[in-house]
Amino acid sequence: MDKRRFAREALSEWMRHGGPDSDIVISSRVRIARNLSGHPFPMLATNQQAREVMEKLTGAVRAGKLDEVGKFDIFILSDLSELEKQVLVEKHLISPALANESRCGALILDRTESVSIMVNEEDHLRIQCLYPGFQIKEAWTKASRIDDRFEEAVDYAFDEKRGYLTSCPTNVGTGIRASVMMHLPALVMTQQINRILPAVTQVGLAVRGIYGEGSEALGNLFQISNQITLGQSEEEIIDNLHNVARQILEHEKAARKRLLAESRVRLQDRVCRSYGILCHAAVIDSKEAAQRLSDVRLGVDLGLIPNVPPAVMNELLVKTQPAFLQQTFNETMSPDQRDIRRAEMIREHFKTFRHGGA
């Protein structure tokens, strides 16, 4: 099997199948941060010390510790091209920080790309599990299993009072960051988002853009995640996120229903205009593409645009990112060239759905 499949195919295997409420919740993610006892944390480690950590953790995988979870490939970051690393970032399989790590970083990736394990990022070990749709509890169960398998092989840095020790104080305690990626166009259109998001932060959750902290909410995609890792159990953190995300989901459903009832013609005009632009544009930048794809996705979900599979929206969100475009066309591009190629790629995808479409 080609280990570098991740660089050729935009749609990870786990994304090919919809999950519960996948018209609004794109994905559910749980990330666990851990460090090894007796080893300096990555920011203080020498190359030799970082290499020892990498060998211990990848050695546990080679010894079969994760065999019951799935089949995994190991990638040493220094063996990947800069473009391949950026593709991994665009697919949310590694962080920008690990992509820029020139020393002893590694990625342990399962064949479905639903589990990605970063070695020597900000912490020695970061376990990430991704599920389609609203399945945050399922993602937590799988991440916890993987965490237990590693803990059988290595000793974690742990304090009886503080819990698991991490490089960043905001991760100390459980070391868990759980999040759901939500598509909330109706709440944005009705401006209810301006009331809901501040309320979310008051209950210990954070709202970020598609690429996490500091990123913009492109295409009406919002990442809702926990901020508190200390003083609550893992189950309490997961339950709190689940309950709040469920409320946001219901608000989005209600807003969509209201738009259909009160502004159907204007809504149809908006989504069909975006569909037309995506079908015919010769040049489109990433920000406009994300917004137009958001409109079309809403139209598909509400039955206003037939014959377009929802999975295509997920695929194009990845395929139209800068690194993936260059990887697909096998050429280095300026921003202007990327805008032309992006439009070309979208046009080709939408040709398939023209007959019987909007």
For residue 145, say whether it is annotated as part of any ligand binding site.
no
For residue 52, say whether it is annotated as part of any ligand binding site.
no
Q: Under 8 Å CB-to-CB from 115, ≥6 apart: which residues?
A: 69, 70, 72, 109, 127, 128, 129, 130, 142, 146
For residue 258, say whether it is annotated as part of any ligand binding site.
no
For residue 103, say whether it is annotated as part of any ligand binding site.
no
For residue 263, say whether it is annotated as part of any ligand binding site.
no
Measured between alpha carbons, how far is 279 from 346 in angstroms, rounded to an integer? 7
Residue type for 133, please? G
Q: Under 8 Å CB-to-CB from 129, ≥6 apart: which residues?
A: 29, 30, 31, 114, 115, 139, 140, 142, 143, 146
For residue 27, say whether it is annotated as part of any ligand binding site.
yes
For residue 144, say whether it is annotated as part of any ligand binding site.
no
For residue 60, say whether it is annotated as part of any ligand binding site.
no
Helix and strand counts by DSSP (H, E) for the chain: 11, 10
Measured between alpha carbons, how far is 224 from 244 in angstroms, rounded to an integer? 9
For residue 212, say whether it is annotated as part of any ligand binding site.
yes
For residue 28, say whether it is annotated as part of any ligand binding site.
yes
For residue 16, say whether it is annotated as part of any ligand binding site.
no
For residue 62, say whether it is annotated as part of any ligand binding site.
no
Q: Please choose, from the candidates 342, 180, 169, 317, the residue with its C-alpha nearest in 3D space to the C-alpha of residue 248.
A: 180
Q: Under 8 Å CB-to-CB from 288, ≥6 apart: which residues?
A: none
Residue type for 3, please? K
For residue 210, say whether it is annotated as part of any ligand binding site.
yes
For residue 276, say whether it is annotated as part of any ligand binding site.
no
For residue 195, say whether it is annotated as part of any ligand binding site.
no
For residue 92, say whether it is annotated as part of any ligand binding site.
yes
Q: Where is the binding site, in residues?
A: 27-31, 92, 126, 177-181, 208-213
Q: Where is the binding site for ATP, in residues?
A: 27-31, 92, 126, 177-181, 208-213
